[in-house]
Amino acid sequence: MTAYARLKSRLDQGNIIILDGATGTELQRRGAPMDPAAWCGPATLENDHILTAIHRDYIEAGSDVVTANTFAASKIMLKAAGLADRSDEIVTRAVEAALKARTLTGKADVVVAGSLSHMVPVAEGTAKVDPSKIPSQAEISDAFHAVAHGLKRAGAELILLEMMYEPKRTKLAVEAALSTGLPVWFGMSARRGSDGKVKAFHHLEDLPIAPRRGLRQGGRRGFPLPSRRMGGRPSPRTAFLASIPACNMTLGFEVFVQEVIAAITTEPCLSS
């Protein structure tokens, strides 16, 4: 039985699963330089030993899942740093750093996940998307598929769709992740508008979410995960996750995303 199969069995029994915490932010905190254009993606090339130490600390703190540093590893994010042609190498080395941490701790049940975000270039000096720098849908899809399949080749056992909020790019990320055949967990970023209603976390457009009652297929789970204090070490995060079987795509993407966000508001969970 694989590590993911064992974890899935625990989920099916209603057990709590603990994820790790931030990876790129923790890299920065430990001194790894961040690229002004590509953020934490390029850091893997010179700091994979730090990555292994971060993953090891999370595992020793009790994390059941550790996440490879691939949030900003797509070629569309790496292009401005002149590293688009090294995207696959970065993805591979990030997964290898996580796998090495699992080996060093001797905890074979820990699942190594690959992060797939829909991050695109941001305006200089900000964390906001620059509309003039958003690539075409075809370019984005190609980049997402490359990361997703690179994660699978490198040995990731699960794909985490992290911080999804923009409908068009989210659909492309979901499609890319599902095309690998790996298990896929969906993480949504939401916010409350000035009217108090839950909206997608999207600064370019106000996207209200119609309330719905859970996912109609595939089920949903919200986990209030305990945060551990570890002195100078990172703490596992709280998270909401919904697993995505391929059949969910037949519901229509907007309906699916609405149901995921609705689940966030009804489950007793905290944001990451």
pLDDT over 90 at 62, yes or no: yes
- Average pLDDT estimate for 106-133: 82
Who has greater pLDDT, 160 or 206? 160
**Per-residue pLDDT band at 230 (split at 50, 70, 90):** very low
Measured in residues, the chain has a length of 272
Q: What is the pLDDT of residue 231?
A: 40
Tell me: the pLDDT tens digits for 15-48? 989 999 989 999 999 999 998 888 899 999 999 9
Q: What is the pLDDT of residue 258?
A: 52
Q: What is the pLDDT of residue 131?
A: 75
Q: What is the pLDDT of residue 264?
A: 37
Who has greater pLDDT, 212 or 138? 138
**Per-residue pLDDT band at 198 (split at 50, 70, 90):** low
- Average pLDDT estimate for 100-121: 95
Classify residue 84 as exposed, middle or buried by CB count within 10 Å of its CB (0-12, 13-18, 19+).
middle
CA distance 20 to 2: 19
Q: What is the pLDDT of residue 247?
A: 30
Tell me: the pLDDT tens digits for 174-192? 889 989 999 988 887 777 7
**Per-residue pLDDT band at 208 (split at 50, 70, 90):** low
Q: What is the pLDDT of residue 133?
A: 78
CA distance 56 to 51: 8
pLDDT over 60 at 194, yes or no: yes
Q: What is the reported pTM?
A: 0.78
Q: How many CB atoms lie within 10 A of CB 4?
A: 18
Q: What is the pLDDT of residue 143?
A: 97
Who has greater pLDDT, 258 or 34? 34
Q: What is the pLDDT of residue 193?
A: 73
Q: What is the pLDDT of residue 124?
A: 62
Who has greater pLDDT, 97 or 39? 97
CA distance 149 to 140: 14
Average confidence score pLDDT of the chain: 77
Q: How many CB atoms lie within 10 A of CB 266?
A: 13
Q: Which of 17-26, 164-173, 216-225 has the highest mean pLDDT?
A: 17-26
**Per-residue pLDDT band at 207 (split at 50, 70, 90):** low
Q: How many CA atoms lie within 13 A of 12 on its CB side?
A: 7
